[in-house]
Structure 1
């Protein structure tokens, strides 16, 4: 189904513009979490300093929204749901120190912009009142879906910002004028680890393919979250979404204590009892995780890359030191690469193999004949923690060393 311009006889003072006016609707609003209070409590830390929202104002957004969980207005349009979600996010952000906030729409009609995209708010220092006022004035929807016009403009809008960027896209994802994937790749290249992509699908059953199109953008970015409007309508689910965009769980401060002596033996002396040790042949002095497996923590790779950066050489040299401290063992070690669940299995598996191979090559060159190395990648198939939180995903992105016979 193609998007057609909606021709109205009265629009902005009875001028023929082809646009549809969508006033703010009334919905039952849940109690919204105050993100700043969570930060002040010490339970969370702020990870995002810039919010850049891309808002679908094309003609299909004037259609009635058929999803569930938005009671209170049986004639609500998809565009009205988009604005309600942004108003709720505005309430949750109050008092949160943000360096910049912006909203840019996309559509095409005289009541919008013939260029295909307008900057509705910002990019400027966050103000709850100013953002609310700008959303109240945002009523026109019309034309096709030139999302790339908004994303290309974002490249310039964000140039003067500092801090981590959450790029939030609200859309039905349906019949974009052109695929936005290459534009997202360009933004990711420009802003690198600063940029994560979040999306909220506000669509109906006939536009189901649009949900997959939006989710693909998060996969390309390598971080963020793709969801749909009906899944974040309740107080609990919306709060979880807001926290995922802006916050990360704080690491608890634990006083250093001597680990208790194992009660059932610890043959490889790695501090993990044999009954829980999944890697019982770890050499003495190796750093292990909670399962007793030898791990290399903190080696990060650039997006879609497998080249080891020089600043991570010391972490790999620690492995060399362990091998030097255990002469005569003739160790056979398999380097195992693992990822989190951001991205598809088909994307993650070869990436984990390339990264494991890069670690293997580095260690082989350093160690020589003191140990033998092989490498294998497992992608996202062997998580050791939940993928529902940023902390859990960080645990799952790991290089693991297995001593084999």
Structure 2
């Protein structure tokens, strides 16, 4: 009889131990949480300080959706911590409800802060807080928070995570008292863990006492998108995005070159790129790669702008020598540079004649450059006749612009 009794007792003890281990496993199992990449550049912080008040009273040991409410509550705070971007704010964590074995009353506990917030610091504090137990002195925790934050500067977000159970109405006047102390600097946010209607009603009243916060359920913010939305609303204000009227990626208030055509690459000031530095934007430059110091026309081509030939003439007058000497200077500064000298005409006369005339003009310029010491191997001459006008041939002014010589760098 005694043997059977002992066997039965041992079986009961083993069963109890196995059940306890299984329950512990359920309690500590957490859902994998991958926080969203919060685009903080689109927002600006609206708080300078925050404090989390975490309910660690006995009612938080009850199970909810496969885990204790206390485990769920700590996980919610941890998810908030993971979602927050790097912030220059003061942070704190206070718990309430735990009763040490040698005490007879509630023990609200400042577990973290008030200190410069870091993600690692708050995470460490969450790992070291004691198990849940005792009664639910939320009002005492709110009063204690008022004292904790008395020396901070700027706005405050008070975040209360609780099931709202086993409490009287005392937290509401405590919240109102704290609001009267801090005024517009304080907003109160409550997060309901569980689904107790009375607890929800109490936490709603507490957040309403803050006048600028709100209440949510832990279920609604447990997902990455839900937590990101909570963090945005509690910690940040949306930045009014400046206009970028031309769509070049530079806001109008910083754009030195408004109305840039669509698709044109711009610099940090919103101006189109000018890679060769000739003063003509790349998207308009018909002759990219012009050497530094070269004189260019509106198309970005190296041109002997002062040397315009008389009709039917290819000789260079002495008054235009300074223009050619400037070309010599550029070529001497760029000893590896080779150029093609291109002669052009207006449309007066036959095409074949103009082709020959343009060749003569190009050769006249080449001869001058060689005479000034430029190696002929770096130069070539080509006539293009009337085929490439840059202005209208219908006016004397336009025809004068077309009677020109251009220099094009070649490999």
What is the TM-score normalised by the length of structure 2? 0.51
Equivalent residues in 2 for 1:154-165, closer than 5 Å = 154-165=145-156
Partners of 1:130 and 1:25 in 2: how far apart? Answer: 21
Partners of 2:54 and 2:209 in 1: how far apart? Answer: 20
Out of 19, 31, 35, the residue aligned to residue 32 of structure 1 is: 35
Partners of 1:57 and 1:242 in 2: how far apart? Answer: 23
Partners of 1:221 and 1:22 in 2: how far apart? Answer: 38
- Preserved contact between residue 169 and residue 202 of structure 2 (Cα < 8 Å): no
Residue of structure 1 equivalent to 2:124: 133
Between structure 1 and structure 2, the one with the greater Rg is: 2
Runs of 4+ in structure 1 deviating by more than 3 angstroms, as ranges, are 21-24, 111-115
SS of aligned partner of 2:54: strand
SS of aligned partner of 2:64: coil
User: Per-residue displacement from partner, 1:379-405 (whole Å, max 9, x unpaired)?
Assistant: xxxxxxxxxxxxxxxxxxxxxxxxxxx
User: Per-residue displacement from partner, 1:160-210 (whole Å, max 9, x unpaired)?
Assistant: 111211100001101215521111111111111110011110023xx2210
Out of 223, 240, 260, the residue aligned to residue 251 of structure 1 is: 240
Partners of 2:157 and 2:107 in 1: how far apart? Answer: 22
Report the Cα offset of residue 157 of structure 1.
0.2
Residue of structure 1 equivalent to 2:225: 236
Residue of structure 1 equivalent to 2:43: 44
Partners of 1:165 and 1:22 in 2: how far apart? Answer: 37
Partners of 1:250 and 1:199 in 2: how far apart? Answer: 25
Between 1 and 2, higher relative CO (CA 8 Å, sep ≥ 6) is seen in 1
Out of 187, 192, 205, the residue aligned to residue 201 of structure 1 is: 192
Equivalent residues in 2 for 1:50-199, closer than 5 Å = 50-66=49-65, 74=66, 76-98=67-89, 100-110=90-100, 114-199=105-190
- Preserved contact between residue 106 and residue 134 of structure 2 (Cα < 8 Å): no
Comparing both structures, which one devotes a greater share of its residues to helix? 2
Partners of 1:22 and 1:181 in 2: how far apart? Answer: 36
- Preserved contact between residue 112 and residue 142 of structure 1 (Cα < 8 Å): no
Report the Cα offset of residue 115 of structure 1.
4.4
Partners of 1:201 and 1:238 in 2: how far apart? Answer: 14
Partners of 2:132 and 2:120 in 1: how far apart? Answer: 23
- Preserved contact between residue 55 and residue 169 of structure 1 (Cα < 8 Å): yes
Partners of 1:32 and 1:142 in 2: how far apart? Answer: 30
* Alignment size in residue pairs: 222
Report the Cα offset of residue 112 of structure 1.
9.5
Partners of 2:130 and 2:72 in 1: how far apart? Answer: 12
Partners of 2:46 and 2:217 in 1: how far apart? Answer: 22
